[in-house]
Each structure stands twice: as structure tokens, then as C-alpha cells.
Amino acid sequence: MVKIYRYLLETAPEELSAVIMKALGNTSRKAADNFYQYFGIPDARDDHDWAVKEGWACCSPDRVLHSTGVVGDDRRYIVVALSAHDASTSTWDQVGGELTDAVRRALAGIRR
């Protein structure tokens, strides 16, 4: 994932990078299947200086949430947060909250 974001930010032709980063920066709060997708980076960085791709899968044996993207005023920080949680003992709200808290802690020391 880091290599993909580095390619988009550093190597890809500007017209390709611009289209993809614009789409990643305009993700909706809910996905087409109505799944809340502002966990992780978006909820941790509510100032919206991000471009993200969220992912989820369920439930055998885990609830899986991933939050990846770039953050910062010039989107210079790459963030990749991958998680898996026991589906028999966790809810989506718990999993999303834990992932968001982990991202918030990881980003606490970066400059804007």
C-alpha cells in the first residue's frame, strides 16, 4: 500500500495522480452498501486534510477494517492501518472505534 501511495505522490503522471487523489479525497461518509466508512483516518482527522481508501470484510473468522491514505496539508504523510478482529466478540462499532483510536494516536505527533 505504501508503494502505491508513493507512486501516486512521486512518480505517476500528474493527470493520473490528480484524478485518483481527487476521488480519494471526496469519499462519502457511507458506501453504496450503506456501510459507514469514515472509520480510521477520516474520523481521526476530522479536519479533512486526507485522501483515503477504506476497506472492510466480514466475518469468517474476523471482522476486517483497513484505513489507508495520505494526510497533512500537502498530503505528505502516508498512513496504512490494517486490522482484523474476532467477529464472535466484536461489533463493527467497536472495531471502527479501535482502528480510529489507533490512527489518532499514530498521527498525534505529526505537523499539519
For the chain, give the longest Cα–Cα distance.
45
Q: Which residue has the cell 481527487?
A: 22
Q: What is the residue-wise DSSP string for 43-64?
A: HH-TT--EEEEEEEE--SSEEE
Q: What's the whole-number mean pLDDT along residues 18-33? A: 93
Quick: pLDDT tens for 53-63. 999 888 778 88
Banded pLDDT at 111 (limits 50, 70, 90):
low
